[in-house]
Structure 1
């Protein structure tokens, strides 16, 4: 689930508490190119106010028109299709012959979303089942591999963070990166046993632990949906986390620091049982090259590499900081030699 979808659910709940009725639209199936993937949400208020997105805007406009001028507020969940024919496909910005199906779910009371929002605020991963014939809803725990399912009668939607991120260090850069990661729907844990940093941590939506980094990594049992990033510049903390994370299935393990510092770090890690193959997977310096200088810019750089690796972009296809700076140095040397 995207962080923006959580915002949609929270706003829908607020509208319901204020006495409005709400229609929740969920993309359940697409054929051909689609502006938004299955699971995307749109909340429509009974007076036409909208939040969220299921297309580039045309389908939203049509749903608002249906609500206000044509069909009125639906009494039961229903399935609607767009773009079945070429003319309708062009009208709604879909490829010719493409199709998008949505389930429209009417909500009349805030308690219909309360349990779901409470689970999400607690950082839980849950699935919500909706029977579109009876309107019956059910909320259950689920696992990260579960995806959206729609069989024509029952819609199963998954809500909550599917990926975890452990940040070592609670400094300014961690604050910036944590905000971005929360917006990207990571469950963010920040580890820093240093009182002078941990006492000042107040980022909403994150979990702070003061335990030692190696103990935290082991306790979290990294899997293929977890990332670990060391940001303290203190080998006594960063290395403890990295030596455990690099021996785990974590999909992204990275560290801040210069190229020289990271080469020295890899050499140290070899002395603590990390193999050469594992040490070579360390992304350090962390991030892709964007010429970043400020904490916010560095956080953008690291977040971009994190998302690329999460989405399956091969590590050798991402131009990281070390590769880019090495290439720039080669280019500078070449220009200097040509100028002589």
Structure 2
């Protein structure tokens, strides 16, 4: 993994709390001008000075750690401005902006454990960070990172999951890049050589043996599905089945001409229009890629962009998560059969 995730920060805070160490959650709650991090970014600081997360390229982290440790004395939450408009005249952000940080000393470990439990079950979760503590709350309509109900509410989405179907170097390049980014990756392929390599690297792999059915595969509202087949015989049978799986993104690589033929084939196969509309007819942010590494980067960039767009959720998202959990129960039954 190339960078710390929100779940890593919460796990650090929970582990230090369970060790008996004083711990502080620090949250970016407002920005004036520009900032290297978005609202909702966090750090977790332990009383011995260890920390995870960041708010800049290293220019204010030492000051944040010192401020955080200072809050342990009276265990009271506080907000502090850093950068433009801050009382700390010698601490500046390189972008010239200002950020407000909320310090919550000794956050409730049960609340943090609750978020991580839901995260492990691929369900969204929310914390309310207030002057009187840190609280696990039900996910509600429009949850984002913002002030509401007497505190700063912070929404935690399940980890991005990518299900890649295909073969060859396109599959292996996408798998390795997505794993480095931090996504959960599942791979389906008839390519025994590629699967052997990827299985040895610790990937979740499933060998495709027939063209007419998909093996059990776990997907949900935070899953992207991508076909990287060049063999259209496989794709023509499997893509209509993949379109019926829960996902926020589904695409298949190919030129504009290939995409037109693909849509015509789906129409001729009787795939309903609402499912055909789910299919991305342009995969990736870099046009006309010609090598596996660039294709993987292009496709992953588009998938991550779309994943972040669903960061603020609707009231139906928790219900959707329950529906996908039922879908997973059916998958479990199929795997045990």
Whether the TM-score (by the shorter chain) exceeds 0.5 is yes
Shift in Å, 1:166: 3.7
SS at match of 2:62: helix
Where does the alignment leave 5 or more consecutive residues of structure 1 unmatched? Answer: 313-340
Shift in Å, 1:291: 6.0
* Equivalent in the alignment of 1:114: 113
Once residues 57 and 75 of structure 1 are traced to their aligned partners in structure 2, the CA distance between those partners, rounded to angstroms, is 26
Once residues 309 and 251 of structure 1 are traced to their aligned partners in structure 2, the CA distance between those partners, rounded to angstroms, is 8
* Equivalent in the alignment of 2:62: 61
Say which of 219, 232, 236 aligns to 1:235: 232
Sort the Cα spacing of 1:139 and 1:215 in 2 relative to 1 into closer, same or farther, 3 A: farther
Q: Deviations over 1:254-288 (max 9, x none)?
A: 3245777556544433422467x95995226x662
Once residues 213 and 115 of structure 1 are traced to their aligned partners in structure 2, the CA distance between those partners, rounded to angstroms, is 41
* Structure label with greater radius of gyration: 1
Query: Contact between 2:167 and 2:190, CA under 8 Å: does it hold in 1?
Result: no
Sort the Cα spacing of 1:16 and 1:278 in 2 relative to 1 into closer, same or farther, 3 A: closer
Query: Contact between 2:26 and 2:103, CA under 8 Å: does it hold in 1?
Result: yes
* Equivalent in the alignment of 2:77: 77
**Are 1:158 and 2:159 counterparts?**
no
Once residues 292 and 143 of structure 1 are traced to their aligned partners in structure 2, the CA distance between those partners, rounded to angstroms, is 44
Shift in Å, 1:79: 2.1
Which structure carries more relative contact order (alpha carbon 8 Å, separation 6+)? 2
**Are 1:272 and 2:269 counterparts?**
yes
Once residues 222 and 121 of structure 1 are traced to their aligned partners in structure 2, the CA distance between those partners, rounded to angstroms, is 13
Counterparts in 2 of 1:103-142, with a 5 A limit? Answer: 103-107=102-106, 111=110, 113-133=112-132, 135-140=133-138, 142=139
Say which of 142, 145, 149 aligns to 1:148: 145
* Equivalent in the alignment of 2:11: 10
Q: Deviations over 1:138-162 (max 9, x none)?
A: 243x368521122483121111327
Q: Normalising by structure 2, what TM-score?
A: 0.66
* Equivalent in the alignment of 1:26: 27
Shift in Å, 1:132: 1.8
Once residues 211 and 103 of structure 1 are traced to their aligned partners in structure 2, the CA distance between those partners, rounded to angstroms, is 53
Once residues 247 and 94 of structure 2 are traced to their aligned partners in structure 1, the CA distance between those partners, rounded to angstroms, is 38
Query: Contact between 1:168 and 1:190, CA under 8 Å: does it hold in 2?
Result: yes
SS at match of 1:104: strand
Once residues 139 and 203 of structure 1 are traced to their aligned partners in structure 2, the CA distance between those partners, rounded to angstroms, is 38
Once residues 7 and 66 of structure 2 are traced to their aligned partners in structure 1, the CA distance between those partners, rounded to angstroms, is 25
Once residues 89 and 183 of structure 2 are traced to their aligned partners in structure 1, the CA distance between those partners, rounded to angstroms, is 35
Q: Normalising by structure 1, what TM-score?
A: 0.66
Query: Contact between 1:23 and 1:44, CA under 8 Å: does it hold in 2?
Result: yes
Q: Deviations over 1:145-195 (max 9, x none)?
A: 521122483121111327654432487754553454466565655556999
Once residues 115 and 86 of structure 1 are traced to their aligned partners in structure 2, the CA distance between those partners, rounded to angstroms, is 34
